[in-house]
Amino acid sequence: MAALRWGRGAAELSRALRSSGRPCTTAKEGILDGLWGPRMNSSASPCEQERRKDWGRVELLEVLEARVRQLQAESVSEVTVKRVEMARDPADSGRAGGTPPPVKAQLKISGGWARRLDQDQQVLQKRQKLLQEKLQVEGHFPSPKFRPKVKAKAKGKAKPMATARPPAKPAATSTTTAASMTMASPMAMAKPVATSTAAPKAKLVATFTAAPEAKLVATSTAAPKAKLAATSTAAPKAEAKPVATAKATAKAKPAAMSIAAPKTKPTATSTAAPNAQAKPTATSTSTATAKDKPVATSTAAPKAKHAAMAKLPLTEPQLVSKQQASKKHRRKEPVKELVQGSWEKWEPWVASLELSSSSRTRAPLKLNLEQQAQQQRLQVFLECCLASGQVALAHHMLVSHLARPHKQWLLTQAMYNTVMLGWAHKGSYKELVSVLTMMKYTGFTLDLLSYASILQCMGRVDQDVTAIQRCLEQMAQDGLQLDQLFLEETLSNEERALLLRAVLKAKPDFRPPQPSPQVNTSTLLSEVYAKDGPVSYPRLHLPLETLQAMFQQQLNMELASNVQVESVEKVLSPTQETLEARKTLETLRTTWEAKLHDQLQAAKARLAQITRQGRLTLYPFLCAVPEDELVQILIQLLFSLPAQGEPFVHVVHRLAMQTFQRHIVQQRRRRGQLQVLEQRYTQYLQLLASDTQVADPCLPRQHWETLGPPEPPPPQLWPLMELLPLGKLLVEILVQSVQLPPSLVPPQSSSQPVPVLYHVYTFRGIRQIGLLRPHPAFIQLLEDAAEPTLIFEATDMPMLCPPLPWTSSQAGGFLLSPTKLMRSVEGSLQHQHLLESCPPAELHGALDALTQLGNCAWRVNGRVLELVLEVFHNKGCARLGVPPPTSEAPRPPLDHLPPNAPPDRKAQLRQEVARCLKTAREMHGLRQEALYRLSLAQHLRHRVFWLPHNMDFRGRTYPCPPHFNHLGSDLARALLEFAQGRPLGPHGLDWLKIHLVNLTGLKKREPLHTRLAFANTMMDDILDSADWPMTGRKWWMEAEEPWQTLACCMEVARAVRSPDPAAYVSHLPVHQDGSCNGLQHYAALGRDSVGAASVNLMPSDEPQDVYSGVAAQVEVFRTQDAQQGLKVAQVLEGFISRKVVKQTVMTMVYGVTVYGGRLQIEKRLRELSDFPQVFVWEASHYLVHLVFKSLQEMFSGTRTIQHWLTQSARLIAQAGSAVEWVTPLGVPIVQPYHHESKLVIRGGLQSITWNSSVDASQKPNLLKQKNGFPPNFIHSLDSCHMMLTALHCYRKGLTFVSVHDCFWTHACDIPIMNQVCREQFVRLHSQPILEDLSAFLMRRFCSAESTRPRTDNTQTAKLLDMLRSVPQKGDFDLEQVKGSTYFFS
């Protein structure tokens, strides 16, 4: 800023940040020493504290403003303020050693924002200059040597001051000190002199000169049509005796002008001229030193009032009232700008001087939610300005808020650091220093990031060594360690290099510290991270060169942001009509793209104009992504809208999220992270490639961390209050830009273009929602064109190279696109906050497990894909899971009812039409899902790909690509197989056969040898299904999982026909599924022997079927009730089966209620064709109670634990907190169930109401917290079991993936995986899980240092009693699990 161009090099930063309370005595004194000065020192004397209260309230600026007002009121036509250069002390030309500092390299800033920035600098320069003068007058510290040249004029009239105007136009001459215009201080060490003479129509010329060892003399003279000159000279260390003289001439009553100096004994002399026509004089002299008593002399002309003395020193109450009156006055009649053409008015700057602080560090403000949201908006705005290269705009917005007292509270330390970092990136040293000065003014202290920005800038502009040394010395004085800078995770590699460059200049022997490796201390993971013992980590089957080429393909795909995939519904031989439609679409696309460009530019220009006024807008967010990419995002959205439309709010959110993701990619590209990523990833591949070796085999995360410092985390997701308006603006631009020519819209009666998109309202239940719906003519054009490609986002595609290893909660997965470690509903930040506050080492188990799951290479099963496509093109088959096209949907009746049709008939017809429309929508959705999956499978058919994983808030893992993964339906799983095969070995073929029988669902309750024998007897049908799947006996179609059964039949056929089945390389995943895994965890927690036997935790010759056991127990209860004559029990005779109760038993462990269980049983009963439907409701209500009663008897320990968890969660939620816990692997978990909050965005096409139940600021939802805790806790345990199994299998060299409690590996490795699975289950439940949970909850919600909301002691006592009453355990021996064959089978 121009206001801070006081010197060069170290002297400039020294003056900007030097203490405002005492001069630096030596050139070597720390440049940041005493940053805030004595006025921020809480241990100051009472006199000093009194002066601090007055600091900034009666400034010389206000005096000048009052003078301007007076002159305007007296018809003064023009006021000119001129600042001339001062003499520069040769002794100070070089702050250190007397030699001139070197000239720094500067980055020139141009454009509109630069001009406004210069204007901001001029205003701040005036303000800083006047503050220095005031403080110098009061004897604080020497004035720096300004060299500004500013000329400002203000024209116009203003209302007169509070003093009455004389009846005539007098010619008055008055002389007063600068101190008399401000607060007279008893601590003053200098005696300034000021002379002022006022007259109408005078031009004021003020000249300020500052030089050391000189007197302060201020002279102001005004005469009719004459110039008034004022000269001010500051003497920092001299005790001069200034003289104050005031002369006035007027035809009015005399006015006594006196200056009150507290704690002094003034002497006043007043002389009145006897003739009013003469020119009487008034003289006032004030003298105050540390040793002498002050003397005040006042001489006043009779019948004269001097308006220039309206701003005399006031007591505290008077001062406040005067300022409030002045603010009101200014609101009614704004003061003209002092800087011509400046965007900032004078009034905010005067008001901004009213800030004061009594401590060195500004205390944090307690803000409500709305104020926190405003701070978040401003912070994101500044960050987005930096990301889009608009640093001057960010600085402009910072100055604008600092200039307005009602907005200053929004500013935080992080905002100043953000703008400083922007100037550091540009090498703009002076602008960075100006931000430091603003930080000093607002009371913030420098932190590590502040010093990082300073040193980065010094390294970029090659700053002199003296300045760097002073900066490092001051940093040490502030208690900050230099080593901490290089361990800061938010710094990029380039920023670290600049830091090191600057530091090495001052400390050539300095070496940056290397981060010490974090070690996980969990007993469950001790073997995983043990350095000793056998290790055989698996490697990929691909060489390094191939993997590098695949990396380039993935990188290009993410840079392009989307991928064109050939649709499996494409027209093989397009007709002439199809070609014409495609040509028309291409022409329209070109026209629409041009219009979108114009609309985006117009929107930016409009928003930029508003932003210049200091208001937060969407301007930087629009600039964050190039226009070409925004246009392509909008066009892609247009072509992907369904014919029935899409909810407006969903479209808005989708557009905003796509824009944010593109912003992240662009930012990483601008930071130069692509080259660093490519070099580091090439080294990382040496751990995975088949033709390379590493010296020390280790886990992928560990190897990645040894290759360099971590990259800075991506920016936080833009808040919803910015995302939704941004998406809304883009949608509105799209609606306004795309139009169809009238020739394409029947009946072609209009000559005006027709909008392509319409905004309509419809009802979903009782809610009215807005839809964005395409015009039917546009839909018809798309159908005629039969576009051969589908467009997918890069993040919706499987990866073409191994994913990045997870190293933190924000780093891992895709190469460039942001990926969450813990997926959550948009707007939920509590999970991310928990992960960031968690020590990194505690997350290593989860991070390494997710990395291992993502490193599994996949390929498409080509033979199965061909058959699925055949069925898909032949109108599908619902029984096989291939949805038919919408042309097969039922049609509503076409009968037209007569006007006199009965109401029942009309209602029946409406219901039939609604049913048909609902079915058509469902069929369309299922068909599109199958189209996406099959098109992606065809696209990846001859490629190897990977599926990066993350987890939900409970710790359960999921693949990130949504359309094509192994967590889908039977069809989706059948299309996938391992890219890397393994020989079957001696027992692999048997496991393939057992897996085949398991998929059919025919022998689930039979032992393994029986299943194997059944497979051998069905070998003819198996081979027939493999050879003639569509024309043979079709045995595979009768299976529960038909497509996976078919894939397994084909694998078995190839294996048995190979010369050596043991040497056959199999790629088919073989599954081992848990036996009601939720109940298994409950039985292990409670050591429940009866429950453990029911869910196969105990060894047995045959598998125990818990569902059949519950059905048998329900039948016992039903028989007893039927014998007593209960009608519904008699009707249910013969209908209670395993299938009827299975879903309820399965979901009971996950918190299903009686109501939900009744609906499940009702659905099963309606599927029974011979059951009397009139009894469905009564029978389902009766059966659900019998099921719960049976489970209570069979799993008494389970129900006790469930009750304890439920009641604990209820008490925690009643106390106002959400339930939290930490999994045995160290993953922090919080239940995101809160009362619904609403965010409303008004205006535009429609008002948007965003409902969120994850807002942590709202009260917890008691019902959801209570009912959700038991199932979520069990889910977190089964996730831990899966992760432990994955990590130990990886250590043994196995390929392992999972679908929650269903574990997959190669057929030859099933015995090893089964052993690991059982060992880790026993090891997990050997931990005191419930006891640890109780201790954590008591520490988190009942201890004195807890951060939860305060509640009464009675509530806390109840919670404490509940948490201490941990359920007692039974006598089941966990070691028996290791011998249980059917624990997972």
Q: What is the DSSP annotation of 475-526?
A: HHHTT--HHHHHT-TT--HHHHHHHHHHHHHH-TT--PPPPPPP----GGGT
Give me the residues paired with residue 951 across strands: 822, 957
Q: Give CA–CA dist 133/216, Å, rounded.
A: 10
* Prediction pTM value: 0.75
Instruction: Determine contact, residues 12/5, Cβ cutoff 8 Å.
Output: yes
Q: Active-site residue 1358, yes or no? A: no
Long-range contact pairs involving 1184-1188 (C-beta distance under 8 Å, separation at least 24): 1184/1144, 1184/1154, 1184/1157, 1184/1158, 1185/1154, 1186/1114, 1186/1117, 1186/1118, 1187/1110, 1187/1114, 1187/1141, 1187/1144, 1187/1145, 1187/1148, 1187/1157, 1187/1161, 1188/1148, 1188/1154, 1188/1157
- 3-state secondary structure (DSSP) of residue 827: coil
Q: Give CA–CA dist 1117/1208, Å, rounded.
A: 32
Per-residue pLDDT at 987: 93
Q: Which of 1099, 1156, 1152 is nearest to 1375 (CA)?
A: 1099
Per-residue pLDDT at 1235: 86
Residue with tokens 């509109």: 112
Instruction: Determine contact, residues 593/559, Cβ cutoff 8 Å.
Output: no
Angle between helix axes 1262-1291 and 1310-1325 (nearest 10 degrees) is 130
Instruction: Determine contact, residues 683/707, Cβ cutoff 8 Å.
Output: yes
Mean pLDDT (10-residue bins), the chain, 1385 residues: 37 43 36 36 43 41 51 44 38 38 43 66 75 60 38 40 40 36 35 38 35 36 36 38 37 36 38 40 38 38 34 32 37 32 29 35 68 88 91 92 87 93 92 89 88 92 89 90 84 87 91 82 90 85 94 93 89 84 92 95 94 91 93 92 89 92 88 88 94 88 89 83 92 94 75 88 82 91 88 93 93 90 78 86 94 96 95 92 89 76 84 86 90 95 96 93 92 96 95 95 90 95 95 93 96 95 95 91 92 92 88 91 90 88 84 86 88 89 90 85 94 92 94 85 85 77 92 94 96 94 95 96 95 94 68 82 92 94 93
Q: Give CA–CA dist 658/653, Å, rounded.
A: 9
Q: Give CA–CA dist 668/194, Å, rounded.
A: 59
Per-residue pLDDT at 1255: 72
CA distances from 711 to 421, 950, 1112, 1382 (A): 17, 19, 59, 46
Instruction: Determine contact, residues 1056/1365, Cβ cutoff 8 Å.
Output: no
- 3-state secondary structure (DSSP) of residue 210: strand
Residue 906 token pair:
């009309």
CA distances from 1060 to 616, 987, 1040, 1069 (A): 73, 13, 31, 20
Catalytic residue, chosen from 104, 430, 1004, 1142, is: 1142
For 695, the enclosing helix (H) or strand (E) is none
DSSP state of 1356: H
- Geometric angle at alpha carbon 759, from 756 and 761, rounded to 5°: 145
Distance spanning both ends of the chain, measured CA to CA: 73
Instruction: Determine contact, residues 614/400, Cβ cutoff 8 Å.
Output: yes
- 3-state secondary structure (DSSP) of residue 271: coil
- 3-state secondary structure (DSSP) of residue 1239: strand
Residue with tokens 């003479």: 197
Residue with tokens 């020193």: 313
Distance of CA 750 to the CA centre of its chain: 48
Tell me the one-letter amino acid at 318. Q
Instruction: Determine contact, residues 116/194, Cβ cutoff 8 Å.
Output: no
Tell me the one-letter amino acid at 109. I
Strands 804-808 and 789-793: unpaired
Strands 227-234 and 203-210: parallel
Q: Which of 1060, 1346, 1085, 1361 is nearest to 1198 (CA)?
A: 1085
Catalytic residue, chosen from 33, 784, 952, 1073, is: 1073
**Phi, psi for 770 (deg, rounded to 5):** -90, 140
Q: Give CA–CA dist 1028/1010, Å, rounded.
A: 27
Residue with tokens 């009453």: 1365
**Phi, psi for 1118 (deg, rounded to 5):** -65, -40
Q: Active-site residue 1142, yes or no? A: yes
For 1360, the enclosing helix (H) or strand (E) is helix 1353-1364
Residue with tokens 């008004």: 1242
Catalytic residue, chosen from 464, 848, 1301, 1309, is: 1301
Go through 484-497 and write b for each residue having 16 or more CB atoms within 10 A of its CB, e for each that does not: ebbeeeebbbebbe
Strands of 967-1124, DSSP E:
976-978, 982-983, 1065-1066, 1070-1073
Per-residue pLDDT at 73: 53
CA distances from 263 to 137, 190, 256, 383 (A): 18, 16, 21, 51
Distance of CA 205 to the CA centre of its chain: 53
- 3-state secondary structure (DSSP) of residue 1378: helix
Q: What is the dihedral of CA 767, 772, 778, 784, to 10 degrees?
A: -70
Residue 139 token pair:
């004897």
For 323, the enclosing helix (H) or strand (E) is helix 316-332
Strands 945-946 and 982-983: unpaired
Residue 52 token pair:
């601090």
**What is the Cβ-side half-sphere exposure of residue 383, based on CA atoms within 13 angstroms?**
18
Rg (CA), the chain: 40
Residues counted in the chain:
1385
- How many other CB atoms sit within 10 Å of the CB of residue 881? 20
Q: Give CA–CA dist 300/255, Å, rounded.
A: 6
Tell me the one-letter amino acid at 586. E
Per-residue pLDDT at 145: 38
Q: Which of 522, 532, 1227 is nearest to 847 (CA)?
A: 1227
Per-residue pLDDT at 891: 83
Per-residue pLDDT at 363: 62
Per-residue pLDDT at 826: 67
Give me the residues paired with residue 875 across strands: none
Instruction: Determine contact, residues 831/975, Cβ cutoff 8 Å.
Output: no
Q: Active-site residue 1073, yes or no? A: yes
Residue 531 token pair:
């350095």
Q: Give CA–CA dist 1178/416, Å, rounded.
A: 68
Residue with tokens 């009663």: 1189
Residue 1350 token pair:
């305060």
